[in-house]
Amino acid sequence: MVLISNKLSFFLVFVAVVQAHMQLYWPPPFAAENNPHRTDTADPDLTYPYNCCGRTTPFPCKGYLNLVGTPQGAPVVTWTTGSSVNFSLTGLGNHYGGSCQVGFSVDNGTTWKVAKSFEGNCPHRNGGVDPAKQTFNFTVPADMPTGNHIFAWTWFNREQEFSMLCSSVKIVGGSKQLTPLPASPTSTAPQTTSSSYVDYNGCTCQCPAISGPLSIRNDHDHTSFRDLEEREAPNASAPSGHVAFHDRPGFLVADIDNGCETPKTTAEVKYPNPGPDVQPGDGAYPLALPYPANRCGY
């Protein structure tokens, strides 16, 4: 009986690891276990991709923009325009990479502007799920408006899955006047239909409650990442030319029943509109554009 019980426990842990993914750890996203302003129960499904488990995921930010302007939506970090900062990831499975983008909304999620694109090796293939080993540098756009805004991280993981999590951040030291932004392209906007989650290995997502290693990691004091982000870190990406904040592209949105799909298993995403700051991957996988072009905003 003990042997059977141990085997069952191992199987349940294995299933959770296979079905779970990664999430933004720093800055702490809305409804995350490590968000210092959270008073409601933490969302156990933040590691899961959009439209997992046969139900539609609210877009953007998994529906948590309703926390903006409330105590639970208070900024979790203060960043200065033009400074080098970082974000970090955690979870239960890094899928051996993928492609990520990070950026900001200064109009409470109506439009988004890309700060940096990571084409391949995001999350780091060999970084495991430790946020200290899954840390990425980027520069806060020097001309973005100051104030309380929304930071977002998006991820495509080579399984035609889309993830997006958002954090409330305070931006200081930049322009004081909010510049009106043009509407983002709508060709990749999510539709109302949903799709069940079956990955390329045939694993069907059941969205079990997250427990164990993720909870332990999220108990770490997040001030250590605050110390990390305040250091000037070298930027390994190619130097970028200046592009005005309001002229930066929006996020690529795909794989959520909107007619735009990313490459599956054999390639990592090459962004059609990556913005001025692009971090190249390690070359372990080729890069490929999403398709078709007319449904993917290019």
Domain segments of the chain as ranges: 2-295
Tokens of residue 201, six digits: 């290995």
Inter-CA distances, 143 with 150, 175, 183, Å: 16, 6, 19
pTM, 2 dp: 0.77
CATH code of 2-295, in short, is 2.70.50.70
Give per-residue pLDDT as tens, 206-262. Answer: 444 434 334 333 333 333 344 434 333 333 454 456 899 999 999 999 999 999 999
Model pLDDT, residue 242: 85
CA-based torsion, 220, 221, 225, 227: positive or negative: negative
Give per-residue pLDDT as tens, 153-167. Answer: 999 999 999 999 999
Model pLDDT, residue 216: 31
Distance CA 138, CA 277 (A): 8
Q: How confident is the model at residue 52 (pLDDT cuts 50, 70, 90)?
A: confident
Q: How many CB atoms lie within 10 A of CB 282?
A: 12
CA-based torsion, 252, 253, 258, 259: positive or negative: positive
Q: Which of 119, 131, 25 is nearest to 77 (CA)?
A: 25
- The string of DSSP letters for 220-240 reads S-THHHHHHHTS-----SPP-
